[in-house]
A and B are shown apart, each in its own frame.
Chain A
Amino acid sequence: MKRATKVRIVVLVGAVVFVELLCRVGIIPRFTMIPPSEMAIGLYHLLASGKMNSDLVTTLSSVAISLCASVVVGTTAGALIHAWPRVRRTIDPLLATYYSVPVFVFYPMFIVLFGLNDIPKIVIGFLYAVAAVVINTLNGLDRIPPVLLKTGKVFGMSPASTAVRIVLPFAAPYLFTGVKLAIAYSFIGVIGSEFILSSDGIGHSISYAYYNFDNVTMYSLILFVLVVVLTINMSLHSWEKVLMQRRGFK
């Protein structure tokens, strides 16, 4: 194990133990926060009881739809924008300032448009995620050295074949970064929306538990979201590291 990894684990475990102590001693009152060990036990019981199953399915499927849509639409849009420099010049400032728009303000409008169902939160997750995919697609396509495209021509490759065998593999690490961000943004968009005006999903359950002073459920679910998101992102991160090292990026 690398030294940095050890230090990281020590710091993390230390922080959890510290919070546990603060809670147990009573410096942090129970109605503010329950000890981390109780969160873990609570989460176990919650998952084992099956009470959360439908909420889990709702949230995770919404995230998955938002993610898939943003990757497909974002990559396609990125490729098209890259192919048309004039469109690019028009859109660039919009892309650069995109994240200054708090997409959540449109939530009421989406409910009017799509109704009180899963679609509004999927749309919000999608809107957060898609720009990251577009930006990273453009970044990847911009970096392709012209000499690789010329090489494709010398090998007599068609534009489609060049796209699949040269452009895509070259841009893969950049597209990967886009997908990683899209996962994070899809979770933020979907779970955040469930807090506001939803009747199901993990975000709704957390907010419901909050209003009912059900600290065990609330903190268990918060822990669940943290664990899921961190696990996904860290496994992607380590895969990304392998890809990047192969290509000589440090």
Chain B
Amino acid sequence: MSAYCELRNVTRVYPGNAGQPALHALGPINLELEAGKFYSVVGPSGCGKSTLLEVIAGLAPASDGEVIINGRPIHGEVADGVGVVFQDDASFPWLTVRDNIAFGLRRQGVDETTIARKVDDAIRLMGLNGFDNAYPAQLSGGMRQRVCIARTLMLEPQLILLDEPFGALDQQTRLLMGDELLNLWRETNATVLLITHALDEATMLSDKVCVMSARPGILLDTVETGWPRDRDSRIVSKPEFGELTSRLWALLREESLKAMDIKQRTG
């Protein structure tokens, strides 16, 4: 298997302005994402997880180092075949569920018959039946996030970046959404990178979990879960699940304390 996405010595420094010192948020980070695998990134709050995602997505430029996606280095622009699901609700409030999901396809000039068929499939797959013509304001937070996931997956991205997409959901919904995500991942064969603060979520979903340090975030370790490809949320009852989650916490505890210390000192 070859690396679909590769980070070489990537750092991100927010330039200081108006008397504020520059903030070294991230790196240097070296990371290879093998095609078709499911990765998670966990780390203490403020460690630069979201910054890492933005740099890979091309939404923020790397201050130093290189991001290579599908063999091509990116320079602060979004590479082809990359889909992003954000933590915040990114559904378009002026469009119906159907039009939200179809947004990307319409921009690509896909014909309406194909769009209608694909959107129908997505609505069924995402459990949004009967809400075709509802506006996001009429949906729950979880349903809105599903609309956003569907909108992203419509374009069949090869690399799916998810920034705490289930952050706003309750625990049961998270587990079920995790199952759906695993299904989609298996069907599409895409590479997935999930940013999360939930260790159990990372353990359950991923082939590999990358653990980041407190700011400036670097990779401390990568934990391989060794789950079979056709896993689902029932693995949370396996003894290995507990062991893996404890291992992640052992790695993270020290860093989380450091992160809290940083927070106390700076603000």
A237 at interface by CB-CB < 8 Å: no
Q: What count of chain A residues pass the 8 Å CB interface test?
A: 17
CB contacts under 8 Å to B, within A150-171, are 150-151, 153-157, 166, 169-170
A248 at interface by CB-CB < 8 Å: yes
B249 at interface by CB-CB < 8 Å: no
Interface centre among A145, A154, A248, by most chain B C-beta atoms within 10 angstroms, is A154
CB contacts under 8 Å to B, within A132-161, are 145, 147-148, 150-151, 153-157
A157 to B138, CA, bound (A): 27
A247 at interface by CB-CB < 8 Å: yes
Contact status A246-B94, CB under 8 Å: yes
Which one of B6-14, B80-88, B168-176 is at the interface? B80-88
Contact status A154-B92, CB under 8 Å: no
A53 to B143, CA, bound (A): 56
Interface residues on B, range: 20 to 34
B135 at interface by CB-CB < 8 Å: yes
Other A-B contacts than A150-B90, A248-B137, 10 sampled, CB-CB below 8 A, are: A151-B90, A153-B59, A154-B57, A154-B82, A155-B104, A156-B78, A156-B107, A157-B107, A170-B93, A170-B94
B89 at interface by CB-CB < 8 Å: yes
Contact status A148-B92, CB under 8 Å: yes
Q: Return chain A residues, CB-CB under 8 Å to B89.
A: 145, 147
Contact status A246-B92, CB under 8 Å: no
B227 at interface by CB-CB < 8 Å: no
Contact status A153-B86, CB under 8 Å: no
CB contacts under 8 Å to A, within B122-153, are 135-138, 152
Give chain B nearest CB distance to A33 CB in angstroms: 47
Interface centre among B58, B82, B84, B138, by most chain A C-beta atoms within 10 angstroms, is B84
